[in-house]
Amino acid sequence: MDEGFTIKETVDILKKYRLTLNKKLGQNFLADKNILKKIVDSAELKPDDRVLEIGPGIGTLTRELAARAGKLVAVEIDSRLMPVLEETTSCLSNVKLINRDILKIDLRRLWEEVFSPGRVKVVANLPYYITSPVIMKLLEEDFPLESVVVMVQKEVALRMTAAPGTKDYGAITVGVQYYSRPHLIATVPPAVFIPPPKVSSAIVKMDIRKEQVFDVKDEKLLFLLVKKAFGHRRKTLLNALKGISGINDKEYVRRALESAGIDGNRRGESLSVEEFCKLANCMSKIR
Ligand code: SAM
């Protein structure tokens, strides 16, 4: 591991290519070897691993990941960074660069074209303006994932790893924990980025669940239920979930809660992921 670019090297690369960083694209580049090492180590890469990096920037993380993996695909939206990436990864034959918006990519097709047949490890210092949509896209699409290591805002990391009944527990917590087991690896101060963001960051690793542990019959209904329950945090479940079925609402919700063994006076934020799943299954049964 050559330990990534230092602050000086990053500044020199930006100068050489006359690049100004685009705030709107979340361009805060990592320039700290210890944090870089933490991210790469937590991905636990093996020589035949397939890795997807989102937002490679000038390639600091890309080079370390490619040195340890079998194949690396990096998706970067900013075309101005492509010549830089081509240069910084030129000595690595296992890197494929794609100049696209990650949110517009058909992940299943990408997998079939470049990763199949193995599962993929995602590693990214995510652009913060699209953290949640990117995470949910990775988890919800039919993309064979093994693990995801991401740098996100600390506040989002706390939401991803929160326990029921706490202030950080919300819809994204249930989404993330339904599909994976998330771990908070480390918190990261703003000073390690160029330019430093306004908030602290954190590294989170999600180990994707191999089996359907919760056995949910209708995932669409589950996530509709979660959205409704957290859309009105202060309301009791009985009131917050009204309108979910369209017909004879309150009675339907009351019966579903009763058969799931959940008190209708509780609030959504107190339900565990398992309880949400149980309630969704009871709802689909009596629909
Ligand atoms: N990986 C680099 C690092 O660690 O220094 C850069 C990380 S920077 C926080 C986020 C990167 O994501 C930027 O290079 C930005 O241009 C890119 N990006 C922003 N929006 C994107 C999108 N929708 N699809 C792909 N890349 C995107």
2 within a domain of the structure (yes/no): no
Same domain, 154 and 227: no
* Residue 247 predicted with pLDDT over 60: no
What pLDDT does residue 2 have?
64
Instruction: State the closest ligand 1 atom to the C-alpha of 103, by its place in the atom list counted from 1.
Output: 23
Cα–Cα distance, 243 to 155 (Å, whole number):
31
Same domain, 87 and 179: yes
Mean pLDDT of 49-63: 98
Residue 193's nearest CA partner among 248, 140, 151 is 151
What pLDDT does residue 160 have?
98
Same domain, 198 and 57: yes
Most confident of 208-212, 227-231, 271-275: 271-275
* Residue 3 predicted with pLDDT over 70: no
Same domain, 79 and 138: yes
Same domain, 174 and 250: no
Domain boundary among 208, 227, 262: 208
Same domain, 92 and 182: yes
Same domain, 170 and 28: yes
- Centroid of ligand 1 to alpha carbon of 97 (angstroms): 13
Q: What percent of the chain has pLDDT over 70?
A: 98
Mean pLDDT of 229-235: 89
Taking CA atoms only, the protein residue closest to ligand 1 atom 11 is: 55
Cα–Cα distance, 92 to 113 (Å, whole number):
20
Domain boundary among 177, 208, 239: 208
Same domain, 170 and 269: no
- CATH number, domain containing residue 128: 3.40.50.150
Domain boundary among 152, 186, 208: 208
230 within a domain of the structure (yes/no): yes
- CATH number, domain containing residue 237: 1.10.8.100
214 within a domain of the structure (yes/no): no
What pLDDT does residue 59 have?
97
Print the domain residue range for 14. Answer: 7-208
**pLDDT (tens digit, 9 = 90+) per residue, 80-137?**
999 999 999 999 999 999 999 999 999 999 999 999 999 999 999 999 999 999 999 9
Same domain, 47 and 156: yes
Mean pLDDT of 164-168: 95
Instruction: State the closest ligand 1 atom to the C-alpha of 62, by its place in the atom list counted from 1.
Output: 1
Q: What percent of the chain has pLDDT over 90?
A: 87
256 within a domain of the structure (yes/no): yes
**pLDDT (tens digit, 9 = 90+) per residue, 183-197?**
999 999 999 999 999
86 vs 244, more confident: 86
What pLDDT does residue 42 have?
98
Q: In total, how many domains does the chain have?
A: 2
Six-digit token pair at 21? 């960083």
Residue 84's nearest CA partner among 100, 97, 73, 93 is 97
139 within a domain of the structure (yes/no): yes
Same domain, 101 and 231: no
Mean pLDDT of 194-205: 96
Same domain, 25 and 105: yes
Bridge partners (DSSP) listed for residue 53: 74, 123
202 within a domain of the structure (yes/no): yes
- Residue owning tokens 């990763």: 115
Cα–Cα distance, 176 to 173 (Å, whole number):
5
What pLDDT does residue 248 have?
58
29 within a domain of the structure (yes/no): yes
Q: How confident is the model at residue 250 (pLDDT cuts 50, 70, 90)?
A: confident
Q: How many residues does the chain have?
A: 287
Which three-class secondary structure state does DSSP give residue 211? Answer: coil
Taking CA atoms only, the protein residue closest to ligand 1 atom 5 is: 29
Q: Rounded mean pLDDT of the chain?
A: 94
Instruction: State the closest ligand 1 atom to the C-alpha of 57, by its place in the atom list counted from 1.
Output: 14
For ligand 1, residues with CB inside 6 Å are 25-30, 54-57, 60-61, 75-78, 81, 101-103, 125, 127, 130
Cα–Cα distance, 206 to 8 (Å, whole number):
32
Out of 12-26, 133-147, 161-175, 232-246, least confident range: 232-246
Cα–Cα distance, 157 to 149 (Å, whole number):
11
- Centroid of ligand 1 to alpha carbon of 128 (angstroms): 9
Same domain, 153 and 263: no
- Centroid of ligand 1 to alpha carbon of 250 (angstroms): 46
Q: How confident is the model at residue 163 (pLDDT cuts 50, 70, 90)?
A: very high
* Residue 233 predicted with pLDDT over 70: yes
- Centroid of ligand 1 to alpha carbon of 227 (angstroms): 28
Cα–Cα distance, 79 to 109 (Å, whole number):
22
Six-digit token pair at 58? 């000038």
Cα–Cα distance, 272 to 162 (Å, whole number):
11
Six-digit token pair at 172? 């994204």
282 CB contacts (<8 Å, ≥6 apart)? 256, 257, 259, 260
In a mutational test of the pocket of ligand 1, which residue from 10, 33, 51, 54 has the highest number of ligand atoms less than 8 Å from its CB? 54
213 within a domain of the structure (yes/no): no
